[in-house]
Structure 1
Amino acid sequence: MNKKGFLHICLAASIVALLGSVYADVRAQGGETAGASAAPAASTAREVRKANRALSRKVYAALAKHKEIDAGSISVVARDGAVTLNGTVAEAAQIDTVVAVAKTVPGVKSVSNKLSVQRPIGE
């Protein structure tokens, strides 16, 4: 074996030993490798989206109990307990009712009201 080949083998062995040492240190500290830690972050984001959708459904369900409100023309967007209401209602008094109902849903921390009164066609 020539000198150049011997140096390549020594360099490769040094890199393998260094990577093994770093991996052992990370595992000993309770951490994971970069590839393994990416999966829990994705599931956490998935869980947040799932919780947001569940909260939106709870607000829709609460609105459906009030027959005087047409919840079909209202969109509910939830993000970490903050609920945004968009859309239209038939009468101005219903805006306050929709906001009040949304605030009573467990998990709702705040309500942003972007509702408006629907104008009849031709006016």
Structure 2
Amino acid sequence: MKIITSVKLACGALAVLASLNAWPQASGAGMAQPGSTVAASGSVSPKTARQANRALRKKVYAALAQHKEIDAGNLSVTAKEGAVTLGGTVAAAAQVDMVAAIVKGVPGVTSVTNKLTVQQAFGGQ
């Protein structure tokens, strides 16, 4: 009889101790679930943001690679949250606007900053 009473008392004490360390949890459709990459503030985790930026850069390079008249080896693409910055050189002035137009058509691109320049021939001519 004393064993059963002491077991009940010990279980009650453990329940009280466990409840002291408990934190209230908000529930609702707009709240992030445990293990999700979106925090309650609506921001994306840094790892997920890097992956999304890397994926967008790959999409931009793939779109440029479909146009054989553009040498994508001399281009640099930086993507951050849908904003794409283009750098590097192209062979002709007409390609500066062409590259920007191609990049604007890539799904996920929200804006394009074009810092492309025309490649000068050796000897300055």
Q: Is the structural similarity TM-score above 0.5? A: yes
The residue number in structure 2 matching 1:51 is 52
The Cα shift of 1:44 comes to 1.8
Alpha-carbon distance in structure 1 between the residues aligned to 2:67 and 2:46: 33
The Cα shift of 1:29 comes to 2.4
The Cα shift of 1:30 comes to 4.5
Alpha-carbon distance in structure 1 between the residues aligned to 2:26 and 2:109: 35
The residue number in structure 1 matching 2:78 is 77
User: What is the correspondence of 1:84-95 to structure 2 with a 5 Å cutoff?
Assistant: 84-95=85-96
- Count of aligned pairs between the two proteins: 96
Alpha-carbon distance in structure 2 between the residues aligned to 1:121 and 1:91: 15
User: What is the correspondence of 1:1-123 to structure 2 with a 5 Å cutoff?
Assistant: 21=20, 23-24=21-22, 26=23, 28-30=24-26, 44-123=45-124
Code of the residue aligned with 1:29 in structure 2: it is Q
Q: Which has the higher helix share?
A: 1
Q: Give the TM-score normalised by structure 1.
A: 0.70
* RMSD (CA atoms): 2.4
Alpha-carbon distance in structure 1 between the residues aligned to 2:55 and 2:72: 16
Q: Give the TM-score normalised by structure 2.
A: 0.69
**What are the ranges of 5 or more consecutive residues in structure 2 without an aligned counterpart?**
1-16, 28-33
Alpha-carbon distance in structure 1 between the residues aligned to 2:66 and 2:95: 14
Alpha-carbon distance in structure 1 between the residues aligned to 2:96 and 2:46: 32
Alpha-carbon distance in structure 2 between the residues aligned to 1:115 and 1:53: 20
Alpha-carbon distance in structure 2 between the residues aligned to 1:78 and 1:100: 16
**What are the ranges of 5 or more consecutive residues in structure 1 without an aligned counterpart?**
1-16, 32-36
SS of the counterpart of 2:45?
helix
Structure 1 segments of 4 or more deviating over 3 A? none
Code of the residue aligned with 2:25 in structure 1: it is Q
